[in-house]
Amino acid sequence: MKLKKLPTTDNPWIAQSSNRVFENPWLSLYEDNVINPGGGISHYGKINFKNLAIGIIPLDENNNTWLVGQYRYVPDCYSWEIPMGGGSLNIAPLISAKRELKEETGLTANNWQQLMKLHTSNSVTDEQGLIYVARDLSEGETEFEETEALIIHKLPLEEAVERVLSGEITDAISIAGLLKLKAILN
Query: Any idea which residues carry the catalytic annotation?
Result: 148
Calculated CA dihedral for residues 42, 118, 54, 162, nearest 10 degrees: 120
140 phi/psi in degrees, rounded to 5: -155, -160
The three-point CA angle 149-151-154 to 5° equals 155
Tell me the torsion sign for CA atoms 73, 75, 81, 87.
negative
- Cα 168 to the chain's mean position, in Å? 17
